[in-house]
Amino acid sequence: MIDFTTITACGECCVGCKKKEDGLCEGCIETDGHCMEWAESGQCPIHKCAKEHGVQFCGLCSEFPCDELPKKIQWNPNVIEHLTELSCKYKNKPMFQDIKQRITEPEVGKIISYASFEGSTEGIAKEAEKYLSSDTLNFYGWVEDVEVVGICGYEVHGNKVEIHLISVAEDRQRKGVGGAMVTALQEMYGIPLEAETDDDAVEFYRKCGFITTVFQHPKKGKRHTCVLGVENSGHKN
């Protein structure tokens, strides 16, 4: 199974690369294209182009395959076939991935509204800006064939992952998407997950294996602290 988080703009995977292991190249993903391989020109042109088009790799671009691609990736004579295959696998595979750049899309905003305390247009915009302006808040989504069907806003602390927001598209609720995102978070970080929620959502966390504790919030009233330890890995939802 391909880990698409390791795929570069040109469709390569830096994991296991001898140059990287020997410290001769830091990798395009880690350096935002400013690795030693491209020191003279400043930045990898393929990485820069993909970023400008808002895609992770060339095979996902609306202009793929473009005339410039074979010129820029001369080391792979089969680059079009390779990127086409990657693109097909990517689009057919549900993925939990960083979608912060898509947070202002209307459909994503609609999913946010299902979990937000203030589901108005202004409230959704305020929630989006909170994530866009933060370096510590992560905004991931469950993506199926490029469609976002679930979202998860969270923050990683030293010993836990704090879930601030988790929501699923209306037509995909009760179909395991929420539980799949919880499992993905555990697999990504391997540390306990924690969330605070209300009576309406607490049952979801319980089904996922979270231990819940009720408390009285001074402004929000009755609330629940939900904790899922590493030993409780796996979900039931």
Please tell me whether residues 201 and 126 are part of one structural domain. Answer: yes
Same domain (yes/no): 114, 222: yes
Query: Domain residues for 158?
Result: 95-232
Asked if residue 189 lies in contact with residue 161, where contact means CB atoms within 8 angstroms, the answer is yes
Judge whether 223 lies within some domain.
yes
Q: Does residue 237 sit within a domain?
A: no
Let me know if residue 24 belongs to a domain: yes
pLDDT at res. 118: 64
* Shared domain check, 121 and 213: yes
Q: Are residues 87 and 105 in the same domain?
A: no
How far is Cα 197 from Cα 58, in angstroms, rounded to an integer? 40
Point out the domain boundary residue: 27, 58, 92.
Answer: 92
- 168 occurs within a structural domain: yes
Structure confidence at residue 22 (pLDDT): 85
Do 128 and 51 sit in the same domain of this protein? Answer: no
Domain contains 120: yes
Return the pLDDT at 235: 41
**What pLDDT is attached to residue 195?**
97
Residues 80 and 138 in one domain: no
Q: Give how many domains the chain has, as a whole number.
A: 2
Q: Are residues 52 and 32 in the same domain?
A: yes
Q: What is the CATH number of the domain that holds 143?
A: 3.40.630.30
Domain shared by 70 and 129, yes or no: no
Residue 174 CA to chain centroid, in angstroms? 21
Q: Which of 38, 66, 92 is the last residue of a domain?
A: 92
Q: Which of 67, 92, 117 is the last residue of a domain?
A: 92
Looking at the structure, tell me whether residues 45 and 8 fall in a common domain: yes
On whether both 87 and 121 belong to a single domain, the answer is no
Q: 186 and 147 in one domain?
A: yes
- Name the pairing type of β-strands 193-197 and 161-168: parallel
Give the C-alpha separation, 225 to 235, whole Å: 18
pLDDT tens-digit profile, the chain (237 residues)? 677 888 899 998 888 888 888 888 888 888 888 887 777 777 888 998 998 998 989 989 988 888 888 888 888 888 888 888 888 778 766 678 899 999 999 999 999 998 865 668 888 999 999 999 999 999 999 988 778 999 999 999 989 999 999 999 999 998 899 999 999 999 899 999 999 999 989 999 999 999 999 999 998 899 999 999 987 554 444
Q: Are residues 172 and 156 in the same domain?
A: yes
What's the 3-state SS for the chain? CCCHHHECCCCCECCCCHHHHCCCCCCHHHHCCCCHHHCCCCCCHHHHHHHHCCCCCHHHCCCCCCCCHHHHCCCCCCHHHHHHHHHHHHHHCCEEEECHHHCCCHHHHHHHHHHCCCCCHHHHHHHHHHHHCCCCEEEEEEEECCEEEEEEEEEECCCCEEEEEEEECHHHCCCCHHHHHHHHHHHHHCCCEEEEECCCCHHHHHHCCCEEEEEEECCCEEEEEEEECHHHCCCCC
